[in-house]
Structure 1
Amino acid sequence: MLVDEYAAFYSQHRRQEEEVILPAALRYLTADDWLELDEAFGANRDPFSGSEIEGEMDRLFSLIVSTVSESIH
């Protein structure tokens, strides 16, 4: 099922962030680097926020969460 494939992909993506990217960032980035990153992320807004498809995205998210939850239990 496509949702299962996406859930597996996203899980692996998140695992890489948590086990590789974030530990490296904590080790190598300076306090000034973190401030710059914070400002950059704060300046970016969600491109879907307030758009007509926001409700559709909410429904898709709910479908994914419920499908993944069902496959875990």
Structure 2
Amino acid sequence: MAKASQGKPNVTLQQSIERILDSNRISRQDYLQLTSAMLAGKGLTDEDYRQLNSVFDRFQLGRLKVVDERSSS
């Protein structure tokens, strides 16, 4: 049962990461969610860590635009 409950947050996390990398935009809420996921580290795969590092690298390099709203549509 624990694996099933851990799978759902990872799907959501992966979707968030893909959306951020595709749009080159990150909300403050997304940043906090990704930071919390990275620090908690529970249920994260090596690929999750690679994707998170990619987001944080782009953030540090100024390649992501920080937006206040989660959805810019």
TM-score (structure 2 length as normaliser) = 0.31
TM-score (structure 1 length as normaliser) = 0.31
Q: Which has the higher contact order (CA 8 A, sep 6+)?
A: 1
| Higher share in helix | 1
Work out which of the two has the higher radius of gyration on C-alpha atoms and give 1 or 2.
1
| Higher share in strand | 2
